[in-house]
Every structure is written in structure tokens, then in C-alpha cells.
Chain A
Amino acid sequence: MTETKDGPPVKTWHGIAIAALKRNAVRLATYVPDRVLTPLISALHADPEFTTFATTREEEAVGILAGAWMGGMRGALLMQTSGFATLPNALASLAVPYQIPLLLFVSERGTLGEFNWGQALVCKTMRPVLDALAMEHHTITRLDELDFIVDRSIKQAFATQASVAFILSPLLTGGKTFGA
């Protein structure tokens, strides 16, 4: 990856994502690590405008983001598909009924060349859960659509106090390949 002193080049998917977060005053970045998200996580750590740290579980991050937003600070959670699968209770009992907007970035595993059957199965649970909770979600496959989708959806999430999930397809990120 080629990074400059001013951060990653803006034409990468992670550069575009960070620019959209900054433009919308998102300053807290929590994550449970994922190989595909690593360039985004590294760039967030390197950027002093963000408070960036790992949590031990995804639902822990949901609690942190909920508290931070109620205290006036906007945040996002980065995770992979299997991490999203741990979230239905926290979403159904905290984020949705309290009308607390979360920004969820999910690196999509389990499709387009998956080598682990468990990942493929858990991936199939993700969109039905999001639909069951009537949560906004977008699967992003194209670099030229990324900024429009993320920027507009962040604004919508905070304006309507409803969470949004960005599912980052391997078509966008390259995904994780066998042996990688």
C-alpha cells in the first residue's frame, strides 16, 4: 500500500471511507480486527483526528458507540461478517429501540471465493438479521459509488437516528483469498 504523509491516497476504498467519516464529524473508530480492513484500521490509527481502538467483542463496541453518541461524539464500528453475527441482541435491545444511530462497516466474508464453510454460512445470516430489524444496509461493490453511499447514509443515520450497515464486498476490497 502506498501511503503519503497526509494519509492514504484518496482514491483507495479506505481513503474514501476515511474522508467521508471526517466530513461527517465521526471521530471515534472502534473495531474487532479483520485482515481485509487492515489498511483502513491502520490509517485510522495514524490519523490524530480519530480516537481508534480495538474492543474485545463487537457488542462491547456497540455499547461504547451508544454511550459516546449520547454524550455527543459520533463513532463507527469496523468488523467482519462473523462479528456482525454476534450483534443481534445488542442491536435489538439497545441501538434500535433507543433510536441510537450506529455506523457499522462490515468486511464481507463468506462469498465470492470463500474457503471456509463456516464463514459462508454465517454470511447468509447477516442480511436477514438486518432486514428483520428494519435496519438500513448497503452492499458496496464499486469504488465510484462508495463516497456517495457512505456520505449520504451517514447523514441519513444521524438525521433519522437509525443505524446503517455498510457491507464492503470483496468486489470493492479485494476480499480475503485462500492463503492470504
Chain B
Amino acid sequence: MTRKSRASPGHDNAKVMNRFDLTRRLVARLKSDEAVIGGIGNTNFDLWAAGQRPQNFYMLGSMGLAVPIALGVALAQPKRRVVAIEGDGSLLMQLGCLTTVAHLAPRNLSIVVMDNGIYQITGSQPTATAGVADIVALARGAGIAKSAWAADEAEFERLVEEAVSESGPTLIAARIDDKPATATTERDPVRIRERFMQGLGVR
């Protein structure tokens, strides 16, 4: 298969980074009580490993719904910053949600996509982003104008700082390696949900 060029050149210039390292950098840059929704699998696992904040929500299924869940939290609590961390395969499963986010344009919502071009947890089969599909171009096409590839760790941190302080919605995409997650989450859905609601001040 001939490799065609991508819609946005930012991908090809971006450094391949590490998900756990980036997740730790992200969590370290949160200012206080931002809600963080982790997507299914490794994205979630590294969020868990980066420190278990009560404002974190961990999915145990429902692949593709991290961004919709984050959107719901953002609508319910417009004064709270909300971040969804999602994998490329998961986002591809629910691409339409980017158009819903763009249409509603919640100022307090940011999306971080960890893109390694593989369905890592199921055996590393290639996703469409391993070919010519470009997450940032897709997000811009959906109408999320503030969408960017993080060229390296320093730029990732700068984009996260912007995301949690300036007006959204925003999307940050990062190329990551195929290293496995560093831990796994607990598996008690009611406990996860109850602690999250306490973290959001609802309980």
C-alpha cells in the first residue's frame, strides 16, 4: 500500500511520545478540581496509574463514550473544566461525537487523543490512523477549530495549560508508542461512579 500524505502535516513532524509520561504531565498541570474522563483500556489504566483523583472517571466498557461522558459533565457543570482522554481506536468508533462537541461548543471541554495507530489492547491491529487518517484534520473538519498535534512533550504541556485555562472546546492529539499501560484500574463500577460524584460535589 502506498502511503499518501496526510491532511495536516503536524502528525508527521510530531515526536512519538509515551502515554503514561504524557498522562502524568497532564495530571500535574491540572489546577484543582478538573474532571478527567479516561477512555477504555490503556488510556484509563495510565490515568489510574498517574494518581487516583476523585474527579477521575474510569470506563470499564462502552468503548468510544469517553468524549460523550465528558461532554455531559461539561454541560451539567459549566464552571468546571472537563478533559476527556481517548485512544485513536476508541475515537474512530464514535467520530460523530466530535461534530456534537463542535456544534454545542462547550467552553469548558478539552479532548486529548493518544494516537499510537493500533488497537493495542486487542493485539495491536492497525487503526486507520496508521495509514492516512489524521485525528487533528478530522477534528478540524468536525468544527473544533482549536485542534493541534503536540510536537513534543514541551508543546503537549503548553497545549494542556491552554486547554485548562482558555476557552474551549479544544483537542490535543499526541503520537505515542506501543508501550503497555503501567497498571490497571479497579473493577467496581459503583465505587468508581460514587467516588467521581463525590469529586464533582454532587454527593
Chain A interface (Cβ within 8 Å of chain B)? 28, 51, 53-57, 59-73, 75, 89-90, 92-94, 97-100
Task: Give the residues in chain B near A100, CB-CB below 8 Å.
Answer: 193
Partner of A67, one of B61, B76, B96, B100: B76
Asked if B76 and A63 make an inter-chain contact with CB atoms under 8 angstroms apart, the answer reads no
Residues of chain B at interface, number, CB under 8 A: 38
With known contacts A62-B65, A90-B62, A94-B61, A71–B202 Cβ distance under 8 A: yes
With known contacts A53-B103, A62-B65, A67-B70, A98–B76 Cβ distance under 8 A: no
Partner of A64, one of B61, B63, B68, B189: B68
Chain B interface (Cβ within 8 Å of chain A)? 35, 37, 57, 59-77, 80, 94, 96-97, 99-100, 103-104, 189-190, 192-193, 196-197, 200, 202
Asked if B193 and A70 make an inter-chain contact with CB atoms under 8 angstroms apart, the answer reads yes
Asked if A68 and B76 make an inter-chain contact with CB atoms under 8 angstroms apart, the answer reads yes
Interchain CA distance A69-B62 in the complex, whole Å: 17
Asked if A57 and B96 make an inter-chain contact with CB atoms under 8 angstroms apart, the answer reads yes
Q: List 21 A-B contacts (CB under 8 A).
A: A55-B100, A57-B96, A59-B65, A59-B94, A60-B68, A62-B65, A63-B68, A64-B100, A66-B65, A67-B70, A67-B72, A67-B75, A69-B76, A70-B196, A71-B77, A72-B200, A75-B72, A92-B61, A97-B60, A97-B61, A98-B189
